[in-house]
Structure 1
């Protein structure tokens, strides 16, 4: 059995949180989005990951309406991209220091708070997705200086990193890093050294795309025969096995699986209580890791 809680930004939180990206699928059913987030809180979720560019502000708006101070939910947001309605991708890079500051202000406004507890600086250095071009190629030190200034002003409480390289994390450590969000799953473990550095430094590792397969051509945990075999033997779903493996793999892993479906939400939270014996864990550990480096833009 894995530990069910961990420390994040000086708070004790459940290791299974909620990623708000999928709320946008309920854009035309707002009451369902609110009910889903309330259900997450009822299930013990106390760590929600969001961004102003999720659903062009819809996710933040639902969070503002739904969550109450007494819920004790740690809301983590991110900067480094802006909404791009009508574009081939729904977001575009926003890496310059003045854009990071503007994004912080946008998140403060849409969430209706005076301070953002944790803000992830979304770099574009690794993992599947956008790559910076032109004036969006910005030195990490310049970005960190902007983030530190925002922290000093009290607009943000702590700084995280997303889509960062191992060298970038090492450079950023003196700034005080609250978490790292990179693409990582049982089928895509290229950042293992970075996970281990985070573990040594006491930094939560919060994988996005925790089941792989975010874009065509990327491996999916739920396509693996070993994952299906374990799921069948335990009477759980392949998705739950993929999530549970992450929690067993390292004690600093926190999950933020997203869904727009209440039943899937319950399954995701229940994955935190799944136990693996040594043989089962070894079977999953033996799954081949493949690259998640697909550039889009």
Structure 2
């Protein structure tokens, strides 16, 4: 059985984790809304992830809502001592599944308590504040009022570490003036490279970077190039894209999601895929393709 030991580790604050983890977003229904089509399969993939060495699970109580956290609790509670569960707050769902901001003090406080209850935990390992000035990407604006609320919940002992999601470098600087920030979760992949300099700055600061949509935003030309490289390596395009991210910087932590045990095993095998200098140059060119 494939394990992920060869991918190395990085840290979320004082919590060391393997660099290839698991994202639970896809365990909810279509559009990350409602229950899964196959509850038993969802529970099976969570248990398989931990069995195969995953010690970092990313989730949120607004996935479903409540669905993924309740599945995680049913599948894995009582939790292994080394399992780190990272969640997000700052958004909510409307009755049709739309994504709306939810960063008033009352909403943020309620979200932390919802995560605690549905996960069955007394303290949340890491809480990412999802900034929702623009749903589709980072947008400038002060995060101080909302982050002060999260920092207050940390001081109460309900949150161990704080991260930020969908942010700019300016917002990170503001956030670090208020509390310790252990991770940033933004969109980044071979084709979407806007955070290149940001990742390097975070590495220098010892802060983890957690990219989402590792295969998002590819043009047909870029997809063809990636597929050709994958064929030569005897791997899938997703495995190559994940392996490139692991090679890109040691502070990158990956959380690919799936509702399939077979796909989970395939994703985790990316940790064992070695990319030589020539392949890395080819892949770097994918990000620059027109």
Q: Scaled by the length of structure 2, what TM-score is found?
A: 0.89
Pairs within 5 Å for 1:241-280: 241-280=240-279
Distance in 1 of aligned mates of 2:213 and 2:288: 14
Distance in 2 of aligned mates of 1:259 and 1:210: 13
Aligned to 2:184: 180
- Computed over aligned residues only, the root mean square deviation of the Cα atoms, in angstroms, reads 2.4
Alignment partner of 1:55: what SS?
A: coil
1:54 matched to 2:80? The reply is: no
Alignment partner of 1:56: what SS?
A: coil
1:285 matched to 2:284? The reply is: yes
1:75 matched to 2:75? The reply is: no
Q: Is the 8 A contact 2:22 2:255 kept in 1?
A: yes
User: How much does 1:70 deviate?
Assistant: 2.6
Pairs within 5 Å for 1:90-129: 91-125=99-133, 128=136
Alignment partner of 1:66: what SS?
A: helix
User: How much does 1:129 deviate?
Assistant: 5.7
Aligned to 2:32: none
Aligned in 2, Cα 1:270/1:3: closer, same or farther, shift over 3 Å? Answer: closer
Which runs of at least 4 in structure 1 moved beyond 6 Å after TM superposition?
A: none
Pairs within 5 Å for 1:1-297: 3-25=7-29, 27-67=36-76, 68-70=78-80, 72-87=82-97, 89=98, 91-125=99-133, 128=136, 139-174=142-177, 175-212=179-216, 218-219=217-218, 223-289=222-288
Alignment partner of 1:70: what SS?
A: coil
Aligned in 2, Cα 1:24/1:130: closer, same or farther, shift over 3 Å? Answer: farther
Aligned in 2, Cα 1:48/1:147: closer, same or farther, shift over 3 Å? Answer: same
Q: Is the 8 A contact 2:61 2:115 kept in 1?
A: yes
User: How much does 1:101 deviate?
Assistant: 1.1
- Equivalent pairs, count: 279
Distance in 2 of aligned mates of 1:265 and 1:80: 28
Q: Scaled by the length of structure 1, what TM-score is found?
A: 0.87
Q: Is the 8 A contact 1:124 1:164 kept in 2?
A: no
Higher mean alpha-carbon deviation, 27-36 vs 229-238, is at: 27-36
Distance in 1 of aligned mates of 2:220 and 2:86: 26
